[in-house]
Structure 1
């Protein structure tokens, strides 16, 4: 079995920020690929219309319609490994439960239109429990994903996972369709910063949003022998978040402009 990680379905520019998400869900559930819809499962419904509505309703409930919309994994099984559609569904269900702990809406679909079975999994970026966003930071593959897939391979006596470097790198859904790779954690962070700026009415609200999303905020980086390699300076991501500037125009997408202030309170 091979696991492709990770397609990050980003917000679509235009009237519908979930347009890419909708296309992804309808592709997953294609009748000609899923035995007429038999091999579709999850906790968000079994038709693309219902699943899509469930994802959108959850985002609306927590006031998070923008930013990263969902995440997508692919589990591929080599020809001749003896796996059936039923077992592939069991593997997908257990993968989702172990990874998501039933905190996110998810859908999986076994595609049997190729010589080898493969499962597509898409889950909502927004938790249905508390509205927090799912993140896949650096090292997440080794710490969280690989132990799950290794355990499932052993349980179902599937071939050992073969990991490729490009399979461990998050890719944007739109760029994946074009065959290109993109960065991972930094892009996710930029999305969250942008969403926070758009949602907040005041700078204090912006900082509160980041704290709610699980970020640590520091005024100044540690110095001396402290290891700060895992920290990211805000102005490396956006010039309007530099130490001497503060973003204004909160609540209005695309209207952020820098103004000088003394001290930002952001991790810098």
Structure 2
């Protein structure tokens, strides 16, 4: 809490603390006063939630620092000051002005803890902040009440898609591939989805064979509702054939999920000298897992062929699992299944040895050596936990190795087939005349 208060009251960020105000406490000794309040009501000062941190941001150039700080103080006066000590610090170091509000977790009035839940945030903190902005004629972010789960946000951040993101992308592909609503249903079923629709079903929903529950696709995008899809295909069928492609491009929804941006590739040049040490070529499981993880990442980013995408999309959610297996194989240079099994047996022996040592320490009951014994037990437990983690990864490798090799083989074969089809189509296109007839090949020789 002391570090948090030091950061929010930084002189370089607050114009030498010109925009720092305290309610129920002096900003300079706010940490001491908040801790004293906790001790008064018998609350811990070294564990649990010690304070709450609220950040209130404003659009660039919309308000002056004085106005922003005044709004922050009014927010604290209406919501916090009658029960909790708090400090308000306005930071000027970014392109947008923002307030840092630090509030004690224990009330000085009755000793009760600050209630942190969705109702407090949406109906009190956010609503009050929005009202203050409207009163001062400042902009407010208007939402439709639908948020994004943490796992969806994390999937977009790390580049690993989640179930809802995968469903969204598959629905887009089905809409683009089908020419009617019935064709759309067939496309979704062909991708492995069970589809619920019809007059007795209120909302169109799908469920993948590896998922546990249905997903209402109209919640992903209103244009995915059954009524909207039927109207989309009805309108398309009324158009001439040459206008249908343009209609599709204008009305097909754009992808909502985007993978994380990766840093640009840096070109490097190799220089062979007497100091250069050639590395041994990677083979076996290491090479297989490395290529498979690379192929999964390319498919997630939309850089693989369509056949590879449909073949590998069920393994997108297991990317972290395969990545951990690849890292273990790389660190310990395990190139064959026998190497993995030998390393796994060695891990099991180490775990048993450390468990016996810990068991002996558990049986010792001498009080003077209790602190040192507990510390040693914690150290052994930490080592056992790390070894067990690697042991479980080895077991996963044994279970997944054959499948990974087969999927990699199928993906490479599918990619090669698709490349061959593209080459064949290109050859047919180039060898045909403008009127559509095939041209005769001509041999021209010389004497």
TM-score, with length taken from structure 2: 0.31
- 2:33, 2:112 → 1: CA distance? 16
CA displacement at 1:142 relative to structure 2: 2.5
- 1:165, 1:111 → 2: CA distance? 28
Cα-to-partner distance string for 1:95-116 (whole Å, 9 max, x where unaligned): 1122225200000100001121
Which of 96, 117, 123 aligns to 1:143? It is 123
Which of 16, 34, 41 aligns to 1:55? It is 34
CA displacement at 1:162 relative to structure 2: 4.9
User: Which structure's residues are more often helix, by fraction?
Assistant: 2
Give secondary structure in 2 for the equivalent of 1:122: strand
Cα-to-partner distance string for 1:168-225 (whole Å, 9 max, x where unaligned): 98xxxxxxxxx9xxxxxxxxxxxxxxxxxxxxxxxxxxxxxxxxxxxxxxxxxxxxxx
Which of 50, 53, 78 aligns to 1:72? It is 53
Equivalent position of 2:195 in the other structure: none
User: Which structure's residues are more often strand, by fraction?
Assistant: 1
Highest relative contact order (Cα 8 Å, sep 6+), 1 or 2? 1
Are positions 1:158 and 2:121 aligned together?
no
Give secondary structure in 1 for the equivalent of 2:66: helix
Distance 1:113 1:101, change over 3 A: closer
CA displacement at 1:147 relative to structure 2: 2.2
CA displacement at 1:80 relative to structure 2: 2.0
Are positions 1:25 and 2:5 aligned together?
yes
Are positions 1:119 and 2:99 aligned together?
yes
Gaps of 5+ in 1: 1-20, 170-178, 180-268
- 2:22, 2:142 → 1: CA distance? 26
- 1:132, 1:22 → 2: CA distance? 21
Tell me how many residue pairs correspond in the alignment. 146
Q: CA RMSD in A?
A: 2.2
Give secondary structure in 2 for the equivalent of 1:161: coil
- 2:126, 2:56 → 1: CA distance? 12
Check conservation: 1:40, 1:109, Cα contact below 8 A: yes
Are positions 1:90 and 2:62 aligned together?
no
Deviation beyond 6 Å, 4+ runs, structure 1: none
Equivalent position of 2:205 in the other structure: none
Gaps of 5+ in 2: 151-157, 159-447
CA displacement at 1:153 relative to structure 2: 1.1
TM-score, with length taken from structure 1: 0.51
